[in-house]
Structures are given as C-alpha cells and as structure tokens.
Amino acid sequence: MTRSSTTEKQPLRIKIGATHQQQALNRVRTTKYTWLTFVPLNFYEQFRRAVYFYFLIITIISFFVNDTISPLTSLLPLLFVMIVTALKEGIEDYSRSKNDKMVNSAKVTIIRNGKEQCIDSEYVQQGDLVVVTSKSYIPCDLVLLHSSSENNICVVNTANLDGETNLKPVFAPTNYTYDLGAIVNHLIHIVCERPTPDLYNFNGRIETLTNGTDNPEAIPLTIENLLLRGVRIRGPERAVGCAIYTGMYTKLQLNSRYTGNKSASSEHYINKFIIALIVGMVVVVLILYLIER
C-alpha cells in the first residue's frame, strides 16, 4: 500500500478554534479557463468535434492542391464559427469568474481567540468558529455547535443542494454544551471522514475533555449535525459552527466540479458519421489512384 493511499484513508483531525495564518483555503473557482489556457484549451475542445476537424483538413489540403477554388472558401467560415464559439465561451467563463469573486469576498463573521472578527469568506479555514444567520448563505461545511433557538437546532433550506424546498432541521450534537471559554482554553477536536460528495451521509465525532480528566469524551456526529455550504438558515436564529470542509472540498463543490464539456447524443452520431465519411473518401481516393496507375 502506498503512502498516498494510506493518507487518504486517515480521518481528518481538526482543532476547534485553532489559530491560523491568513490563507485563502475557502476560495472557490468554477471557471474552466485562465488567461493562458483559454485559446489552446478552447480550440482543443472545438476540434474534438469531427466536423470542425474535417473542415480543417479540407482547408489544409486546399492550400497544396492546385484548384480553382480558393482555400478561403472553407477557411473563413471555419474561423468565423470558431471565433463566435470562443467569444461565447469566454463571456460565460468571465461571468463565472465575477461570481466567484463575489462569493469569495463575501463577509463572514468568525470567532478567533475569543473575539468576533469579520473577514472575507475565502479566508475561512478548518477549525474556525463561524457565526451564521438567516441573512447569508453558509460559507463552508460546518458542524453545528450552538443555536440561539430553544431546542438548540437550526431549520435550513437545502434547495441549492438537492432542489427540495421543504425545511429541514439540523441539530447540535447530543450531550455537548457549547462553551467558548472551554474551546479557547482546552484542546477540543473534531475527528471526521475525508471530504466526499455524498450529501446524505457523514461520520465523525467530537473529542472533548470533561471533568478535568485527560481522557477525551467522544460525542458522535452524523449528517444531522452538519450545516452544508449553500444552505440558508430560516428564522431569526444565530448559530455557531466549526468549519470542517472548506473551498473546493465542500460537498457542494465536490458535486459541481467541472468534468469536461457535455455533448448531446446527436453530436456523437454526427462525429461517427463524419469519421466514416472521411474514411470513405480516403478509400475512394486510393482506389481511383490505383486504377489510374
């Protein structure tokens, strides 16, 4: 077994309320391109369509064959279609980039060293105590530690995650009492599984020192204790949670990662037809060449 595979199976051990350096660990990026990769990557994706590649071959051949038809006849339409497609993709990607900046720069209230601070969302890190209200979306995946409601629960809307509009309850861990002073002065950890895209399962535990002993008490955690990125609290409640999954490793981002351009089934048939056409043309040309000899 390799070292990397062993590391992947090890659970995460996160210290609640740990002091961090300012790093953008909660930054999200939904764009497909950068300024350097836009032209080569976009043209590569376009030439994956067989019809584009076919016209490119026809254009190249027309430059070397003495023919009455100008190569521009096939080159100009090809360039026009490719440039229009590239502009469309570029505008859409730029819009995604602007939306990413808005999300990453959204203000989030956290508790560090026993004091509340207001920082950009992209600087939230594992172990931070995040204060959330109904005025904004959850900035990362949090284990709910405290709610201002009487039953210590939060009611959330998960429409952004699973499309369901009905409200769902999220509970603070059973047998756990939120005490900011204890968090600041003692080693309290959350041990949990590594990030997965599963929206309906989560396994972890809170290890906290109680009654002055050195043996930590383990309090189990399930998906019912998790506030996921993208959900919104309903009601006037104020809640405090510990950040466990941030940035591109939240369940929302793991379920929305870019996996390549999607193509319709009709496009697959067109690609196969064009490839068969090219092969047929090559075979006919070879047969005619052999006959003339």
pLDDT in tens, 153-188: 888 988 888 777 788 889 999 888 888 777 766 668
Is the pLDDT at 74 greater than 90, yes or no?
no
pLDDT attached to residue 264: 60
Average confidence (pLDDT) over 67-90: 85
Strands (E) located in 129-227: 129-132, 141-147, 153-157, 167-171, 189-192, 204-208, 217-221, 226-227
Cα angle 176-25-127, degrees, rounded to a multiple of 5 = 15
- Whole-number percent of the chain with pLDDT over 90: 33
Q: What is the mean pLDDT of the chain?
A: 83
Reported as a pLDDT band with limits 50, 70 and 90, residue 46 is: confident
Chain segment 128-154, per-residue pLDDT in tens: 999 998 888 899 999 999 888 878 888
3-29+107-254: which CATH architecture?
A: Distorted Sandwich (2.70)
Q: Sorting pLDDT into bands at 50, 70 and 90, what band is 20?
A: low
Q: What is the pLDDT of residue 259?
A: 53
**What is the pLDDT confidence band of residue 223, given thresholds at 50, 70 and 90?**
very high
Identify the pLDDT of residue 6.
47
Q: 0.85 cut: is pTM over it? A: no
pLDDT at 37 over 80: yes
What is the pLDDT confidence band of residue 1, given thresholds at 50, 70 and 90? very low
116: Cβ–Cβ under 8 A, 6 or more apart, which residues? 109, 110, 131
Instruction: Check whether 263 has a pLDDT greater than 70.
Output: no
User: Please, which pLDDT band fits residue 87 given cuts at 50, 70 and 90?
Assistant: very high
Domain ranges of the chain: 3-29+107-254, 263-293
